[in-house]
Amino acid sequence: MKEKMKTKKRLGSQSGRIRQRTTKPKRSHSEALRPCLPDRQARGGASSRLPRELTKAREQLEKERETFFPILHKAPYGIVLIDKNGKFLYINPEFTHITGYTLGDIHSETDWFHKATVFARYSQEILKTWKRAVLKKGLERTLPVACREGEIKQVEFKPTLLEDGRIIVMLSDVTERKKAEEELHSYRDHLEELVAQRTAELRRTNEQLQREVTERKRVEEEIKTLNEDLTRRAKELEATNRELEAFSYSVSHDLRTPLIGIQGFSRRLLTKYADQLDPKGQSFLSIIQRDTQRMLQLIDNLMALSRFEHQEIRPSNIDMEEMARTVLEELKTISFDSPEVAIQLKLDPLPSAHGDPTMVRQVLFNLLSNAIKFSRSRENRVIEIGSLAGETQHTYYVRDNGVGFDMEHAGKLFGVFERLHTSKEFEGTGIGLAIVQRIIHRQGGKVWAEGEIGKGATFYFTLPRRR
């Protein structure tokens, strides 16, 4: 009974002090803690009635209050002290800085959750969860808080339940940290998506590369097989060509002797026994002489083609202008139909070239012979020899104003025995241009032709520059 009476007197003294403070317009943080601790004046009035131990305890509490209050007041995190009935007893400045609320704005847990919770309609349920799962178990939570000015902040709460039933809660503003964590989480998710995409792309690329490598190996094997087959066929063809060329040379050489005999005997018949032959017999002998002469020319050309194909090349610097002038002088004596026929020859300055002089001379001879032959139907024949300078090779050409040719048949010009005109129109064997092509190709050059029916033709060939 005595102990109960002492407790009532102590509580009455405290409630009197609380009523006295509520009449003041403001109270300090120090005064906010006084409901938890006995008043000094009350302690002085009742010290004579309280046991000595209680007096020492109060003195110890007062000393602790004076020691820890400045620490709580200047703490870098918010602090709120709540009694066991949910009444807010103390709020430090950092709490107000974080939330905007002062002790005058909120008086209890219910008041706090009604004002500060983002989900106002669920404030009672949140309060029950807070008391059950957080306060009693001391669990840390991060919750959204509606601040006094309306701003929503992410606040981390760390509650501690004291032995006397009071609760001290420390809170920190972790809005920026949460935002950074969310961004980091978003970046991590995005990075994981990118990694997954890149991994899938790399997998597909790797599979594609593996297929390509497999296909390449297969193609390489096929190419290797084809190359081996081509090498074998090339060797066979080379051997066959050598045999054919040897046979051709042998046949040409062997045919030449009887043809010369036939030509000689027919000529003697015409000269010695012409008076014993009628005109028809004389015509037969003339045909024999003409055809044997044509066969001899064909054989000579075939032998020349074979010779230029296998003859050793002995290159040197060539004065192309001097060589062209020499060939023209030679052709004047053997190719012009009559002295009365006018031929206008144009010889432009020609740069020197590098090649086999004997072979290159044959090229000029064949091209100029054709120009003279295929322009003889013109009253005023014009033959021009010119050139086009190049960096590594010079281009030379022989142009005439003769009968020309259809460009559709240009590919046939350089084939053996290929003729665009009949032998009655223009004599020849169809080998001269084939010889030109083989000689130029062996010199490392190119040869081609341009023409138009009735307007003449131009034959081009290239040779390396002078060294």
pLDDT tens readout for residues 28-71 = 444 444 444 444 444 444 445 556 777 776 777 677 667 777 77
Cα torsion 115, 119, 124, 126: sign:
negative
Question: For 330-341, what is the mean pLDDT?
Answer: 62
pLDDT-based confidence at residue 84 (cuts at 50, 70, 90): confident
Of 146, 164, 165, nearest in space to 155 by CA: 146
Of 130, 72, 86, 80, nearest in space to 102 by CA: 80
With tokens 């002088």, the residue in question is 329
Q: Are 434 and 284 in contact (CB under 8 A)?
A: no
Q: Are 113 and 126 in contact (CB under 8 A)?
A: yes
Q: Are 319 and 352 in contact (CB under 8 A)?
A: yes
Tens-place pLDDT, residues 149-168: 888 888 888 888 788 878 88
Of 134, 168, 147, 159, nearest in space to 105 by CA: 147
Which phi and psi (to 5°) does residue 33 adopt?
-85, -10
Coil, strand or helix at 222: helix
Enter the pTM of the model. Answer: 0.44
- The predicted structure's pLDDT at residue 10: 44
- The predicted structure's pLDDT at residue 352: 92
> Is the predicted pLDDT of residue 225 greater than 50, yes or no?
yes
329 residue type, one letter: E
DSSP 8-state class, residue 465? B
Distance CA 82, CA 91 (A): 9
Distance CA 383, CA 371 (A): 7
The phi-psi region of residue 430 (left if phi > 0; otherwise alpha if psi is between -120 and 50; otherwise beta) is: left
- As a 3-state breakdown, the chain gives helix, strand, coil percent values, each rounded to 5, of 60, 15, 25
For every residue of 304-343, DSSP letters joined together read HHHHHHHSPP--EEE-HHHHHHHHHHHHHHHT-S-TTS-E
- The predicted structure's pLDDT at residue 317: 92
Q: Are 461 and 445 in contact (CB under 8 A)?
A: yes
CA distance readout (Å), 29 to 35, 92, 169, 347, 414: 12, 7, 16, 119, 115
Beta pairing partners, 142 = 156
Tens-place pLDDT, residues 260-319: 777 777 777 778 877 777 888 778 878 787 777 777 766 766 666 666 666 678 889 999
More confident residue, 99 or 11: 99
Distance CA 457, CA 403 (A): 8
User: How many CA atoms lie within 13 Å of 210's alpha carbon, on the beta-carbon side?
Assistant: 6
- The predicted structure's pLDDT at residue 319: 93
- The predicted structure's pLDDT at residue 248: 67
The alpha carbon of residue 249 and the mean position of all alpha carbons in its chain are separated, in whole angstroms, by 58
Which phi and psi (to 5°) does residue 403 adopt?
-75, -20
Tokens representing 304?
């020349």
- The predicted structure's pLDDT at residue 23: 38
- The predicted structure's pLDDT at residue 461: 93
